[in-house]
Amino acid sequence: MFVHHSVVFRSSSMNKINKLALSAALTLGFAHFASAAPILDDVLSSYPDVRDNHGAYVQLTDTDGEKDDIVAGLILENAGFAANNSFGLFKRGDFTNQFEVFAGSDTPSSDRVTLVFKDNGSVWADGVEKAADFGTLFGFYLKRGDSIWYSDKSLNGGIDVAGFYDLPNAKNGYDFVVAFEDVPNGDQDFNDLVVGLSDVATVTEPGSLALLGLGLIGLGLSRNRKS
């Protein structure tokens, strides 16, 4: 009798764990869809229909040690504040370590900047050091006056202002596109400032994947028991 109750208890506990894990994973998924930026070809009509992957940071993929660099291009600015907006990069883990890449006076479709990432952690452009101890993991910011918004929504009080798009094939020399909304909780068109970059890819957050995987495992175990 004792053994029978022990088995029932474990089964009940496992059911609760599975349900909680699945619920958490589904909640995570729905939260992502709820805060998603538009599909990329709704922002840039000539680009593929890639979905926002909800990223916050990217990593340099050109790391062969010969000339580790990226090309950043200002693709689009469709905002009333365009002349006052500036775009830049910040180091993951230290948002105060940041530098400007494009100013409000820069022109979309014509302005491109090559950023060289050196072995000592510094970043250079046009022979000028832009940042020291920067590394190869970074996010993006949009600044206007004293207001600054980051691609990492945890630095914005939970408000997501940037769409992240990894391109399946390079487009106009770009492997990745970041699209900003310059007015939080505004029209959510994410075309206020759009930048393309070569040789970077979104950093996958292990916590999110682990939570989603736990939920899917729980669902699989539940189905196996029922069958």
| Structural domain that includes position 64 | 39-203
The model's pLDDT over 6-27, given as tens digits with 9 standing for 90+, comes to 334 344 444 544 444 444 443 4
C-beta separation of 77 from 138 below 8 A:
no
What pLDDT does 21 receive? 44
114 and 157: one domain? yes
What pLDDT does 46 receive? 93
18 and 73: one domain? no
Tokens standing for residue 184:
């939080």
Total domain count, the chain: 2
For the chain, residues with pLDDT lower than 50 are 1-14, 16-35, 207-212, 214-216, 218-219, 221-223
191 and 94: one domain? yes
28 and 43: one domain? no
What pLDDT does 11 receive? 44
Strands 174-180, 193-197: pairing is antiparallel
Between CA 41 and CA 15 the distance in angstroms is: 42
**What 3 state SS string does 6-47 have?**
HHHHHHHHHHHHHHHHHHHHHHHHHHHHHCCCCCHHHHCCCC
16 and 120: one domain? no
72 and 157: one domain? yes
Q: Side-chain half-sphere of 79: how many Cα atoms within 13 Å?
A: 28
What pLDDT does 15 receive? 52
43 and 28: one domain? no
69 and 124: one domain? yes
20 and 125: one domain? no
173 and 127: one domain? yes
| Closest to 89 in 3D by CA, of 54, 64, 117 | 117
The model's pLDDT over 128-144, given as tens digits with 9 standing for 90+, comes to 999 999 999 999 999 98
Tokens standing for residue 196:
């393309």
* Beta-bridge mates of residue 21: none
Buried b (16+ CB within 10 A) or exposed e, 83-98: eebbbbbbbbeeeebb
Which residues, including other chains, have CB under 8 Å from residue 175's CB and lie 6 or more apart?
61, 166, 167, 197, 198, 199, 200, 201
| Closest to 174 in 3D by CA, of 151, 150, 195, 204 | 195
- What pTM value is reported for the model? 0.76
23 and 74: one domain? no
* Beta-bridge mates of residue 122: none
What pLDDT does 210 receive? 45
199 and 216: one domain? no
